[in-house]
Amino acid sequence: MIYISAVGMVNALGNSADEIAANLTAGRAPGMHRRSGWLQGLPDAVLGGVEGELPTIPDSHSAHRTRNNQLLLAALAQIRPEVDEAIARVGRDRVAVVLGTSTSGLDEGDEHVRRTLNGEDSPRWQYPQQELGDPSRFLASWLALDGPAYTLSTACSSSARAIVSGRRLIEAGLVDIALVGGADTLSRMPVNGFNSLESLSPTLCEPFGRDRRGITIGEAAALMVLTREPASVALLGAGESSDAYHISAPHPEGEGAIRAITQALNDAGLTPDDIGYINLHGTATPLNDRIESQVVHDLFGERVPCSSTKHLTGHTLGAAGVTEAALSWLILTRALPLPPQDFSRYAPDDALPPCGVLHESVPLKKPVILSNSFAFGGNNASILLGRAP
């Protein structure tokens, strides 16, 4: 059995576990609001951001000086004692770093191009900042680790797959501890890219809403310490699939999503009746919500409470999988009520197959949570977390 011994996170809900837990319970997200300067040709966009100051990256790591890595340091600071203890116990060569990202230092690269095209100096720019592998390379260097360190970039399933990969390294005997997670930062390129695909909502996203128009992009980071040492929450199972149906649209019958969820259940030796809550991918795009509703309806009927938390964090892209797994960990460790879908601003889509979407908060009755991440290209990952027996 692989356990989750520590979790650190920052997102639009807050900058600490206490703050995030309180705001998740209250259904408020201070970092979700309109921001200017991100959309070309439009004055502003609703985006989810991490508020407040972030840790400084010193000159010794100037090649890694990005907001993405600052978010990682903010998450790491919350669990640094546990990470240091683990390193001291097993050795620096027995700790892996596996992260997921979609943007890395893309925004710093965008700023460098802007400055260059305008004839301005760009003294802080260094090429490694925008490399997708940089987050793991940076964190391994920051912690002076000698074990495996790599980054996965499979769009919105990136950090969910990082969790699965870290587990796999431990089970293979290659390491004893895996520091897994991910980070993604607000950047003009994905914001405008999703807008060009007509997938960016002009208002705060409306998961499973009748008039939903697309996603709200957010930024976040979360880190988990995976270990064989018993802890209160276990990584019970995981499933992965890649249906490769379309570069951006999900499979019309949800075949890849069904395989990922079924594989996770089989891996954990559980049935649909054992699940207490499903954190839905729930992006608020017309296709995603319709197909995920159908998949959950077919596998679970209406008997499992479920909701999407993306109206509280934004869609954090490569960080979404670990962010939502971290929220699930909070629910399990703090006995938080389940977050309902907020239909106070809009009407639910009654044309969707019924699948247990929560309209009000309820207690978690069974201590097992399924968290779904479905990405572009049909790249799917489902993770099962539960209170340790």
What are the residue numbers of the active site?
Answer: 156, 281, 315
- Short-list 386, 206, 381, CA closest to 307: 206
Task: Give the C-alpha separation, 40 to 62, whole Å.
Answer: 30
Positive/negative CA dihedral, 296, 302, 305, 309: positive
Q: CA angle at residue 322 from 5 to 361, to 5 degrees?
A: 90
**Six-digit token string for 23:** 């705001």
Name the amino acid, one letter, at 183. Answer: A
The single-letter DSSP state of residue 331 is H
The DSSP output letter for 207 is: T
CB 296 within 8 A of CB 306: yes
Question: Counting Cβ atoms within 10 Å, is residue 171 exposed (0-12), middle (13-18) or buried (19+)?
Answer: exposed
Other C-beta atoms closer than 10 Å to the C-beta of 63 total 17
